[in-house]
Amino acid sequence: MLEDGKWIGPILDQHMHLDRSNRFLDAVSEFVRAGGTGIMLVHKPSFYGSLPEDIEGYRAAYSDTISMAEEVRSAHQMDVAVALGPHPVSWEKQIKSLGIERSSELHLEAVGLALEKIESGEAHCLGEVGRPHYEVDEQTWGAANEMLGEILSMASSSGAPVQLHVEDNGEQTCRELSQICRSSGLPLERAIRHYAPADVSSEFTHGLSATVSVGRGSVETLASTARNSSAPWGMETDFLDDPRRPGAVLGPKTIPKRTRELCSALLSGGWEEEDVESLLTDVHVNWPRSLYGI
């Protein structure tokens, strides 16, 4: 899928949020015009509105995400996979209003509902779930890790892949997550570190899959570590579709742009064309198909 040294094949953003009240289909149009061909649409919590306080609230919220995916497919005739799950920040915020016992109970109920949607074929991945990415008190941190272990056990039992929202503590985070996966019975490659650093070497990831946040400087790191990777990885923007946080994450055009840059960097770094083609086919086609069934 290289033509004159340029990638002309599929391009997948593995972590994108959309919001009906913001850009929604217009954001997808921008992605498509730049060369994008598929997205993983990740459920977006209503942090500025009211978070679900019972399972029916989650059922309605998940249904809206699934409906948005159908609208994107219809509008653009493109591949759209869906990730459903209760965000760990929602859990932490609701401790204050519901108490830690009820917030945790609701969180696990929402995980169970998401897994039902995956089993029925309406969704493809559990996510984003995990633990708070900011400092919390010791009791909350302990509860978060205990619950994460239970969530990964549930995912293991259902065979679902998991996109993980976690803190950025480099290699240590990957090491800890791999230990939790092993204790929970979830195969390491089925656990996907979302918003991951660009180091995809086995020494860094400890066998976890990753969706790399491809901001500035990421291409150089990907190019230097890709040969030492043993687990699937992909690219993501974590586009928020939120006008209140401009510049907080990457824009819709980023993945096509970074894919072209990575292709060029690999070729100029001595990779053969067939090896570059094989890697980018894995990144945008084969690995997503094996992880999400798309």
pLDDT at 44: 95
CB 128 within 8 A of CB 136: no
pLDDT at 245: 85
Identify the residue whose tokens are 């209140």: 244
CB 221 within 8 A of CB 261: no
Residue 243 lies in a domain: yes
Buried b (16+ CB within 10 A) or exposed e, 15-54: bbbbbeeebbeebbbebbebbbbbbbbbbbbeeeeebbee
Residue 3 lies in a domain: no
pLDDT at 281: 98
pLDDT at 94: 94
pLDDT at 105: 98
Question: CA–CA separation, 252 vs 18, rounded Å?
Answer: 11
pLDDT tens-digit series, residues 17-60? 999 999 999 999 999 999 999 999 999 998 777 899 999 999 99
Residue 2 lies in a domain: no
Alpha carbon distances (Å) from 6 to 109, 147, 158, 277: 46, 45, 39, 10
Sort strands 2-3 and 6-7 into parallel, antiparallel or unpaired.
Answer: antiparallel
pLDDT tens-digit series, residues 199-212? 999 999 999 999 99
**Within 13 Å of residue 218, how many CA atoms lie on the same side as its CB?**
24
Residue 278 lies in a domain: yes
Residues of the chain with pLDDT below 70 are: none
Question: CA–CA separation, 169 vs 19, rounded Å?
Answer: 29
User: 131, exposed or middle or buried, with CB in 10 Å at 0-12, 13-18, 19+?
Assistant: buried
Residue 1 lies in a domain: no
CB 212 within 8 A of CB 236: yes
Q: What is the CATH number of the domain that holds 267?
A: 3.20.20.140
pLDDT at 248: 81
pTM, two decimal places: 0.96
Domain housing 61: 9-292
Question: CA–CA separation, 25 vs 41, rounded Å?
Answer: 12
Q: What's the number of domains the chain is made of? A: 1
